[in-house]
Structure 1
Amino acid sequence: MIVIRLNKLALNGQYSELAGSLYPYGQFTKYASDDVPDSPIPGKGRTDEAVKILEDAGYTKGDDGIYQKDGVKLSIKVAVMSDASDWINAINVASQQLKKIGIDLHADQMSSNEWTQAMQQGQFEMSIYGLWVAGAEPWMFYNQFYATANTAAVGKSAWPNYARYSNKTVDDALNVINTTTDVATKKSEYEKIQTQVFEDMPYIPILRQSGLSEMWSDKVTGWPTDDNVYANPQTWANPDLGIVLKNLKVKK
């Protein structure tokens, strides 16, 4: 299993499988579509299919075993921060697997500032990163990473929609969700987004990582709980941090 091997060898088994629509489950489960497949990532490598796609496109293997076309190797750079050892390990594991079928994949390590600038301006071939969850509903998640309003032309700053994804169906659904309180309407619109995202796949899903928080409940109440995750309790989450603070009360 490709994902299981990547998780075991590079990520210390800390991650779990991811939904094909990149849907953030947990507290958002009620808005998840049952019609969207769980994952577009096959459990096993489809080597024969990959080779056929390359050779049908005119690629041939060079003396070093790497596919090439018109003298240009099939070599892909994956932008990554030089201090992100887990992500670098993941790239290296993927590189070993892909080299067996003639694809050269390697880490393009850079400083945090260089990487951030490259991501914001779209100056990269591929990158490895995560989509973070914020807000009490999945609207914030999809709006951050999929809304046309959060993208820009390559060379201009776009954040956090660094895939520069733009789709009218998604934009229209986000607008409806943002102007209604009806749960059934929201669910219908979220299903449209999930279906479109699964079809377009602007980000390649690999694995899911949990976020953990510690809370001092002896003297302070009002924290998010398993039964009421009204906001992301992690201290970096914005605007969630402000929402959590407004709900906290000191025990008397």
Structure 2
Amino acid sequence: MAFKAERTNARVVAGLAVVAVVAAGCGSSGTSSDQSPTLVAYTGQSTDYQINFNPFAPTNIGGTGTIFQTLFFYNIVRDDEPAPRLGQQFSWNADGTQLSITLRDGVSWSDGEKFTAEDVVFTLDMITKNKGMNSGNYSGRATATDDTHVSIAFDQPSFVDGPTVLGKTYIVPKHKWADLADPAVAVLKDPVGTGPYLLEEFKPQAYTLKANPSYWGGEPAVKKIRYLALSGNQAGATALKSGQIDWQTGPVPDVKDVEKNYPGYRSVVTPVNQIVLDTCSNAALGCSGPQTDPAVRQAIYYALDRTQLNALAFENTASEVSPSFMLPERDQQLISGRLQNRVAPMQPDLAKAQQLLDGAGYVKGSDGIYTKGGKPLSLTVKTVAGWTDYITAVNTMTQQLKQVGIKLAPQQLSWNEFVDAKDRGEYQLIIDSLYQGPAPDPYYLYSYFFSTAQTAKVGAKPGANISRFSDPQVDRALDALKHVNPNDTAARQPHLETIQSRIEQAMPYIPVVTQGTISVYHSAKFTGWPTEDDLYAFPAVWAHPDQAEVYLRLKPAGK
């Protein structure tokens, strides 16, 4: 009873804090000084913001898509043609070794300087010189043929590099960035971009973007966007209940009854990202702990009761996940028949989990916990304070894994501590999610999270491959896929199957479920939101550059 009382009191305090922050920022009417309504967004930020608008830094808090733009926009939730942004046209030569791009003319940076092809070349060259910025393994050589044309040469067929270069690389101004000593981690407080918004004000509790009156596409109808830092998901739900937030992506109580419980709001649930337990898996690169044993990772995989996790932590909005990390619906025809499980079992197999541990030399102690070499099979699992769905999932897993003889020790961190632990490899388990690439193709997830080129020794900053996983067969298959035209499905499939088989065996990321990403939006205040019938962008407030696409489509209700 005392625990429930504490949680109730915390929610009341959080709700008062939300109202205070919003009211202080935009007045009780929720409008900006020009009487146009301010859109208030909550991304899940559970501690104060620490300013950094560097689009390449791991501590970036925003501006990707809104301030800094890509050349084109790729929609990962449906198979649309790439939409022109800073670029207008692109084409490949026949063998995929040269990409030609025509840029939009007449674009200016927000400080008035002209945007040219030199900015694009500078950005791409900067990425090749800084491994931590090169999440897509880009290896081209860019040349500006004139102010509006860029040619990129590759040593080998590189069709798959196109969506990363064109749709996920944020172009930055050469005249502002050329003197940065370490652009991969530099703190950017005064961002200069080409996008539809400018930074108006920053405070640790909230920052505000304002519409760019000189935006090449015309000044947006939504004039101001305020991002709030709250105490976590419960505070976000309280703010929604009081009508103080206009767009939130994250767990919401009784999500099936959003329109009834939150008048004026609607929701959309999109299955895209896969929830996992990240493991620091590779002892050869400095990882330490029981999770470096594949048998332990496999035992955790089989011991999870995913049906229970879905019900208790995710309001039954999650769906099946494949150990191949293909999306079961989108990639159904590509999932290998050689896998032990096409999708992870929704019910636990405790006998299988114990068999794996017994076979790896673990012995169950009198307290029911396995031991090896005199050390108990105990693992610390980290999550972000305030992320109530993930915290609930971890607490549920703790009870589930105890039944099989594995002890979990949950640990909550601030966002910055969480990011730092991932980057340094100073963790055993982390609950997180794997994200999709710039196009609806599993190649990109594989290249991000399973490529040796994307990892580093413990203590050094890796790319996306924070598990420190490295496998020569996977690397060779990824390299082979770069040589094959993405339209040649038959030629690609053997390489995709090799990757699937190897990562199911090694399991450096333990599959939990495919997350049903919940977004709730204020339809009575703004019109033009993505819906299940018109997913013109991934409708998550933290997704980039998708969120900028949404802002550009929105209009204040009645206008």
Coarse TM-score class (shorter-chain normalised): 0.7 to 0.9
In 2, distance between residues paired with 1:155 and 1:209?
A: 30
Partner residue, 2:458: 154
Say yes or no: does 1:183 pair with 2:496.
no
Q: What residue is the counterpart of 1:35 in the other structure?
A: 338
Question: Residue 53 in 1 paired to residue 354 in 2?
Answer: no
Alignment partner, residue 175 of structure 2: none
Residues 321 and 328 in structure 2, CA contact (< 8 A), matched pair in contact too: no
Tell me whether 100-109 or 152-161 shows the greater mean CA deviation.
100-109
Superposed, 1:212-231 pairs within 5 Å as none
Equivalent residue in structure 2 for 1:103, among 406, 409, 416: 406
Partner of 2:509: 203
Provide the C-alpha distance between the structure 1 equivalents of 2:473 and 2:359, rounded to a whole number of angstroms: 34
Contact 1:144–1:160 (CA<8 Å) still a contact in 2?
Answer: yes
Equivalent residues in 2 for 1:56-75, closer than 5 Å: 57=361, 59-62=363-366, 65-68=368-371, 72-75=375-378
1:191 shift after superposition: 1.7
The Cα of 1:72 is off from its aligned counterpart by 3.6
Cα distance in 1 between the residues matched to 2:507 and 2:370: 25
- Number of equivalent positions: 238
Aligned in 2, Cα 1:186/1:236: closer, same or farther, shift over 3 Å?
farther
Larger fraction in strand: 2
Over residues 136-188 of structure 1, what are the superposed CA-to-partner deviations in whole Å (9 max), with x where a residue is unaligned? 22211111111111000011111311111111221122122222215231223
Q: 1:17 to 1:80 in 2, by over 3 A?
A: same
The AA in structure 2 aligned to 1:150 is Q
Q: Which shifted more, 127-136 or 36-45?
A: 36-45
Indicate if the aligned counterparts of 1:51 and 1:101 stay in contact, CA closer than 8 A: no
Q: 1:102 to 1:19 in 2, by over 3 A?
A: closer
1:139 matched to which residue of 2?
A: 443
Structure 1 partner of 2:306? 3
How far is 1:19 from its partner? 1.0
Superposition deviation, residue 193 in structure 1: 1.3
How far off its partner does 1:57 sit? 2.7
CA distance in 2, matches of 1:25, 1:102: 31
Contact 2:449 2:466 in 1 (8 A): yes
The yes-or-no answer on 1:124 pairing with 2:427 is: yes
User: Which stretch shifts more, 42-51 or 168-177?
Assistant: 42-51
Q: State the TM-score, normalized to the length of structure 2.
A: 0.37
SS of the residue 2:392 aligns to: helix
| 1:74-85 equivalent positions in 2, closer than 5 A | 74-85=377-388
Structure 1 residues 100, 174: CA separation in 2 closer, same or farther (over 3 Å shift)? Answer: closer
1:202 to partner: Cα distance: 1.5
CA contact 1:60–1:68 (8 Å) conserved in 2: yes
Q: Say if 2:392 is the partner of 1:86.
A: no
Which residue identity lines up with residue 179 of structure 1 in the other structure?
Answer: H
User: Aligned with 1:129: secondary structure?
Assistant: strand
Unaligned runs of 5+ in 2: 1-303, 522-527, 554-559
Report the CA distance between 1:110 and its aligned residue.
0.8
Contact 2:382 2:429 in 1 (8 A): yes
Q: Percent sequence identity over matched residues?
A: 31
In structure 1, stretches of 5+ residues that fail to align are 215-219
- How far off its partner does 1:241 sit? 8.2
8 Å CA contact retained: 2:321, 2:344: no
CA–CA distance in 1 between the matches of 2:352 and 2:464? 36
- State the Cα distance separating 1:226 from its structure 2 match: 8.5
> Counterpart amino acid of 2:481?
I
TM-score (norm 1): 0.77
1:24–1:133 CA contact under 8 A, matched in 2: no
The answer for the alignment partner of 2:17 in structure 1 is none
SS in 1 for 2:379: strand
- Distance 1:59-1:23 versus aligned 2 partners, 3 A rule: same
Following the alignment from structure 2 to structure 1, what is the Cα–Cα distance between the partners of residues 360 and 494?
40
Larger Rg: 2
Kept in 2, the 8 Å contact 1:135–1:232? The answer is: no
* Alpha-carbon contact 2:382-2:413 (below 8 Å) kept: yes
Deviates more, 1:19-28 or 1:67-76: 67-76
Asked whether the equivalents of residues 79 and 124 of structure 1 are also in contact (C-alpha less than 8 Å), the reply is yes
